[in-house]
Amino acid sequence: MAKKLSNLSDLSMAYSTHAHEPEMQEIIKNSNFANQVVRVQLDSKQRGGKAITKVIGLDLMSSELEKLAKEFKQKCSVGGSVKDGIILIQGDHVDKIITLLKDKGFKNTKRTGG
């Protein structure tokens, strides 16, 4: 007789919505993207005083920007979006995003703003 499952945890399996994507790092390392200047800044203008982290200067295709933004959102455990080629991450995560970008191969990553 089969055992009745009350929830997915009874299966002793884990489910992940994202796969590790080494191809993104290969795209960055095998191109001029590593030499571009990327600026990361904290902004709270026109947001009712709420902080947002902006990543400016990434010369990537929109699909690659979306993948990178998704990774930042997962690593920082916050929301965010991509608008007009700028990655917007909710909250003050400037230092963490700079570290993530440098780990990905973006050597010229700078903090801008106040």
pLDDT tens-place string over residues 3-17:
555 554 554 444 455
Q: Which domain holds residue 82?
A: 37-112
Q: Which of 22-26, 59-63, 85-89 has the lowest mean pLDDT?
A: 22-26
Q: Which of 12-21, 25-34, 61-70, 91-100 has the lowest mean pLDDT?
A: 12-21
Tell me, what CATH number does 63's domain have? 3.30.780.10
Q: Which residue matches tokens 């919505």?
A: 17
Please answer whether residues 104 and 28 qualify as being in contact, where contact means their C-beta atoms are separated by less than 8 angstroms.
yes
Beta-strand pair 52-56/86-90: antiparallel
Q: Which of 10-14, 44-48, 58-62, 63-67 has the lowest mean pLDDT?
A: 10-14
Q: 30 lies in a domain?
A: no
Q: 47 lies in a domain?
A: yes
Amino acid at 28: I
Under the banding of pLDDT at 50, 70 and 90, the label for residue 85 is very high
In the chain, the number of structural domains is: 1
Please answer whether residues 54 and 41 qualify as being in contact, where contact means their C-beta atoms are separated by less than 8 angstroms.
yes
Which residues lie across from 110 on neighbouring strands?
39
Element (H, E) at 88: strand 86-90
Q: Where are the alpha helices (DSSP H) in 2-82?
A: 22-29, 62-76
